[in-house]
């Protein structure tokens, strides 16, 4: 095994360990959300239903509004749980990313759109890499960009797969070269481990583009 091949193998091993740690941490958080906040909200809903049975007029209307807010909170928490859970790629990478975005941008003013094929010709490890890279990218958009529109486009070009996330947010200086940023560095390492290239372009006031290019593999 050559030196570069050995380094790539070691990188994949470290990224695999990191992925395992992330999965366990996210699973624990999802369980906590399900077992604590959701159960408390459901209990409150049951209490509201009991009060509603003995209420009339304006009081009943107010209880209906409270019940609607609580039901909406449960729905948003459940979508967040899905975003935290390991990806279900059975319906295609595009569908998994759509579900992920619903969880990340829940209760946000950001409008998310995904375009391109739902199913792509990538090996399972590569699909998971795409999912993890764009989960990090979408979380960054939610936290920092103040974007009103986010578009994720999936594309098959000859022997390569290209995924491009574009937002119209505030943008930033130095994202493309800031390898000291752990999230950005990990995204680049994941792309490299699968033989791909990650490109990030961002300018103040002009949003951010995250583009990942990976070689395709026809699933057998």
Question: Count of H helices and E strands in the chain?
Answer: 6, 5
Would you say 55 and 78 are in contact if contact means Cβ atoms under 8 Å apart? no
CA distance 134 to 16: 17
CA distance 207 to 173: 11
Q: For the chain, what are the domain ranges?
A: 1-86, 90-215
pLDDT, tens digit (0-9, with 9 covering 90-100), for 40-63: 888 888 888 888 888 888 888 888
The count of C-alpha atoms lying within 13 angstroms of the C-alpha of 147, restricted to the half-sphere facing its C-beta, is 30
Extended beta strands in 121-207, E state: 149-157, 160-167, 197-202
> Whole-model pTM?
0.68
pLDDT per residue rounded down to tens, the chain (220 residues):
565 665 666 666 666 666 666 666 666 666 666 667 878 888 888 888 888 888 888 888 888 888 888 888 877 777 777 766 667 788 899 999 998 898 888 777 889 999 999 888 888 889 989 998 998 899 888 888 889 999 999 998 888 999 999 999 998 765 544 433 667 888 888 888 888 999 999 888 889 999 999 998 644 4
Which CATH number is 90-215 given?
3.30.565.10
Of 106, 161, 168, 166, which Cα lies nearest the Cα of 137?
A: 166
* DSSP 8-state secondary structure symbol assigned to residue 56: -
pLDDT, tens digit (0-9, with 9 covering 90-100), for 148-173: 999 999 998 888 999 999 999 998 76
1-86 domain in CATH 1.20.140?
A: no
CA distance 185 to 140: 13
CB count within 10 Å of CB 112 equals: 22
């Amino acid at each position: 095994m050559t030196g570069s091949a050995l380094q790539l193998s070691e990188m994949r091993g470290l990224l695999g360990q990191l992925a395992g740690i992330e999965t366990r941490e996210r699973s624990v958080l999802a369980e906590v959300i399900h077992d604590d906040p959701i159960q408390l909200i459901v209990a409150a809903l049951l209490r509201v239903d009991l009060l509603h049975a003995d209420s009339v007029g304006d009081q009943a209307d107010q209880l209906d509004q409270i019940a609607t807010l609580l039901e909406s909170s449960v729905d948003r928490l459940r979508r967040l749980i899905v975003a935290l859970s390991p990806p279900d790629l059975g319906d295609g990478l595009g569908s998994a990313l759509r579900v992920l975005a619903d969880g990340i941008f829940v209760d946000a003013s950001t409008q998310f759109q995904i375009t391109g094929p739902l199913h792509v010709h990538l090996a399972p490890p590569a699909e998971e890499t795409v999912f993890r890279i764009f989960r990090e990218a979408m979380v960054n958009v939610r936290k920092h960009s103040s974007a009103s529109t986010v578009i994720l486009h999936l594309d098959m070009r000859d022997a390569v797969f290209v995924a491009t996330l574009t937002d119209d947010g505030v943008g930033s200086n130095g994202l493309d070269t800031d390898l000291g940023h752990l999230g950005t560095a990990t995204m680049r390492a994941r792309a490299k481990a699968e033989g791909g290239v990650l490109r990030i372009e961002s300018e103040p006031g002009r949003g951010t583009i995250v583009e990942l290019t990976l070689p395709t593999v026809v699933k057998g």
